[in-house]
Every structure is written in C-alpha cells, then in structure tokens.
C-alpha cells in the first residue's frame, strides 16, 4: 500500500509540473527551476520564445491545429537542447529556455539554432497539409541571483524581435528594463 501511495504521489508531482499539451515543464515547473538556479553562483541565459502570428493559426485553422503546432514546436525546441539547459511552456504560445554558464554570444547562437529548427520545416497537419511556422526569440544573460530581471530583459528583447519583423533573434545587451 505504501509503495502504491508513493507511486501515486510521484505521478501527482509530475502531472502538476508538466504541461499536458506539450509534455514540457509548465510555468510552476519553470518558477521552481528559477528558484533553484537563483541560489547558484553562475551566469544564466534566458531565451524567451514566442510563436509568430499564433493567433492567426487558431483563428484560421482552429484550436485543434493550434494545439498540433504548439506540440510540434515544443518537440523541436526540446530536441535542440543538450546538457543542463531546460525548456518549458511559459504561457500561451511562449516558451522559456534557461541555460546555465552561457554568454551573450552563446545565447544568441542557441536562439538562432532554435529559431532555425522551427522555421526550416513546415508543421505537418492532417490530410497531408502543412503550415509554415516561425518564432521570435529574445535572449538575455545575467547572474543567477538576478534571474527574474534577466527574464524581463529577455521579454523586452523578444518584443524587439517581433517589432523588427519577427522570425528573428534579439539579444538584450544593454536594453533597459523600462524600454
């Protein structure tokens, strides 16, 4: 009986920290990960990734197709990560990648690799159809103790990537928090 309760408790923890649609960690998982990383004395990269024109996918194709797109983008992003990097669904069509021990150049290179992994191949849909999908990426690097601010800077850089035409990577070198 105790083994069964332990198994069920472990399953509950996994379910409560996993996004059911994408299989990635969800926002609470990411927030827990942020708290853990913030206690380390390392440099961390934050990459905020947003699917370009996702509202149009849902409006034109329907939410079922939007779900297929989200799941496929999640699979592609996760497939590009190695080592201690972690990706999770931050909310809606946004994903957050956290990478320990990276500089701005390394974060930008990873952002470009992730962007390319999405843009290179259209997402396969039902009945032999496919849909091209792109993402915009905002990158920032900071000390683990200031990870929340680093994520805010990545969000600002993401806004710059979208304003700059989408399907691109922007790095928050010196972008102020109030931009």
22, 128, 30: which is closest to 75 by C-alpha? 22
Please calculate the CA angle 120-18-37 and round it to the nearest 5 degrees.
Answer: 85
Beta bridge partners of 142: 44
157, 67, 162, 74: which is closest to 118 by C-alpha? 74
Which of helix, strand or coil describes residue 46? Answer: strand
Q: Which helix (H) or strand (E) holds 4?
A: helix 2-17
Beta bridge partners of 124: 130
Q: Extract the tokens encoding 66.
A: 């939007």
Which residues are marked as active site?
93
Return d(Cα 168, Cα 61) in angstroms, integer.
Answer: 24
Give the other-Cβ count within 10 Å of 31's Cβ: 15
The residue to which tokens 């103790």 are assigned: 145
Q: Extract the tokens encoding 161.
A: 């990537």
């Amino acid at each position: 009986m105790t083994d069964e309760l332990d198994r069920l408790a472990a399953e509950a923890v996994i379910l409560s920290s996993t996004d059911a649609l994408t299989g990635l960690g969800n926002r609470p998982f990411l927030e827990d990960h942020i708290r853990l990383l913030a206690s380390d004395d390392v440099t961390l990269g934050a990459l905020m990734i947003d699917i370009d024109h996702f509202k149009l996918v849902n409006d034109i194709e329907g939410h079922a197709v939007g779900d297929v797109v989200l799941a496929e983008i999640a699979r592609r992003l996760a497939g590009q990560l190695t080592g201690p990097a972690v990706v999770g669904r931050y909310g809606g069509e946004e994903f957050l990648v956290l990478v320990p021990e990276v500089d701005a150049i390394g974060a930008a290179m990873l952002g470009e690799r992730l962007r390319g992994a999405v843009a290179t191949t259209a997402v396969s849909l039902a009945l032999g159809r496919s849909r091209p999908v792109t993402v915009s990426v905002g990158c920032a690097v900071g000390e683990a103790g200031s990870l929340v601010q680093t994520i805010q800077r990545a969000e600002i850089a993401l806004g710059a990537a979208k304003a700059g035409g989408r399907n691109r990577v922007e790095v928050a070198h010196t972008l102020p928090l109030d931009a």
